[in-house]
Amino acid sequence: WFMAIPESAEPEELNQMILIRLHGTIWNHLMFGALYSGWAIQLFMTGDVSTQGLVVAFVGVSAFGIVLCLMHVRGAVVAYLGSALVPLIAFMWMSEETHFRTGAFIVIMVALVFVIVLNRYSRGFARMINQANLVKRQKLEAERLGKANLALANQDSLTGLANRRCFMSTLERRVNDVKSHRISGIAVGILDLDGFKLINDVYGHSAGDKLLVEVGRRLSALQSSRVYISRLGGDEFGIIVSNKMNDSELIEIGELLCDAIKAPFCVSGKKTHLGGSVGFAKWADQSDTGESLFEKADYALYHAKENERGGVIIFAAHHAEIIREVREVDRLMQDADFIDEMSLVFQPIVLPNTATTVGFEALARWNSPLLGNISPDVFIRSAERAGTINKITAFLLEKALGEAKKWPEDLFISFNLSMQDITSSEAMVRLIAIVNSSGFDPKRITFEVTETSIMDNYDTALLSLSLLKNMGCKIALDDFGTGYSSLSYVRALPLDKLKLDRSFITGIENSEDACSIVHTMVEMCQSLRLDCIVEGVETKDQLSILSAMGVKLIQGYYYSRPLCSNDAVDFVLEERRLDEFRESPMTQSDMAVIG
């Protein structure tokens, strides 16, 4: 036991120690055998016949015992037999006594049996050891491959950060740590890159991958014992912040991550810029799970991208109320009859100089008997998640064209299409069939699409819009300026109109910068020979400023809120009666009556 080899020894050191021990054992038994043989010969020479017989018997028994004990060390056995028996056998054989030679012959036979048995056992033992070593090597290789596979399964191959699978498992562990009070709190965040899709499409996927690698490198440098970052997929990154912190500290972390992304990138030899939006959700109580925290962070991110692009939003109580509403809407979407509860309203699109209505935008409304009026933003997103948006679009388009047939023939109708509408060949075939069967002139139809819906699948969207354009329909880019706003895309798309988002109009009366931005956009539309429609006009001052800029079409509450179908018809007819009245010659008596 005092010569035991420590288990902590390294493999090379272990092998070296074993070899030294083996060599020592062999030499020890070689010398012991020589001394033993000398002692036996001396006794044999001086003893009587009975003593000589005992010597032979003792030597044989000793040899048997040593061979039995050292069968696993063949070299030591051979060394002992060679040094102990060979001299004794030689001495006995050279003796003139017949019984000595007979004894020598017996010893030789016994020695041969020992050697044969030893050899067979040694080969079997060697095979067993080799097999054990092979199994050990295979086990080590399996462990190595297992670790490598685990690393591959948990690591994003592009950025080197942890992947979504690892993120979710880490999140569950952190949640359990909070529940068991090993850490004081946790916050989950999702960071989404703003503008990556555009760069990826313009410069190619290879450049996009290089950009993601650099983003991963920058974010990785910001990791710490408290901040864990992974790539969830695409241009989204997950964040886990361990231990409790207040909102300002959490926002500071989010802004630090966004600032790292805002630094210029070099793509194909050119400098380009990205932005980032972050949504956070903090641990509230024991009812929170990893999945619920992730869902809350995802909603906070959506809110940031919709309202504060490039900012950091922390999930709050009013967001929870919205999520509950969304879940209720999702549940109602499973009802086959929900579509019958939907209706349309129509908001006038007006020439500002003459206050003449030239068209209406059809807007979807859902008045649920259970939830009341549901916001279009909510039920449209819910329909997109549920995969029912194409069905809703077809139903509402057919209904809208039926109502528009009641209007004067010089009015157009503007109708919104979702991303799933313009990226689905089946949906496009159905929409085209509805237009063709409606009896409504396609030239009086304007289909509105958002920048984001086009960028998500540009090639398919371009094909769909071209099909609608070839039918005679017009195409408008909605909410221009809130998404990618790339002039190269504006020029490439078959557009007829641009609609400026209402966010550019807010505060235009008091902001020279806002005026300059809108004026630049209006001039751009004029240079591209596109009609410019400004949304969200609510005051006379806004109208005056826009008219002075040369804006041709406006839409907003200043002229009218969205109207039901009958009210829209009455609105136009009343407007035209007033126009005819103003243009007709009036007598003094007429004036007196009016007075």
Placement of tokens 């989404």 in the chain: 192
Max CA separation in the chain (angstroms): 172
| Rounded Cα–Cα distance for residues 236 and 577 (Å) | 56
Nearest in space to 167 (alpha carbons), one of 240, 234, 225: 240
Could you tell me if 328 and 530 are in contact, meaning their C-beta atoms sit under 8 angstroms apart? no
Q: Which of 156, 194, 235, 288 is catalytic?
A: 235
Residues 6+ away with beta carbon under 8 Å from 509 = 539, 541, 542, 545
Is residue 476 classed as helix, strand or coil in its secondary structure?
Answer: strand
Could you tell me if 163 and 155 are in contact, meaning their C-beta atoms sit under 8 angstroms apart? yes
Amino acid at 51: T
Helix (H) or strand (E) holding 504: none
Distances (CA, A) of 96 to 50, 92, 103, 414: 18, 9, 12, 130
Catalytic residue status for 235: yes
| Rounded Cα–Cα distance for residues 78 and 82 (Å) | 6
Could you tell me if 317 and 336 are in contact, meaning their C-beta atoms sit under 8 angstroms apart? no
| Rounded Cα–Cα distance for residues 85 and 375 (Å) | 104
| Rounded Cα–Cα distance for residues 230 and 240 (Å) | 9
Distances (CA, A) of 456 to 126, 198, 420: 66, 9, 10
Q: Which residues are catalytic?
A: 235
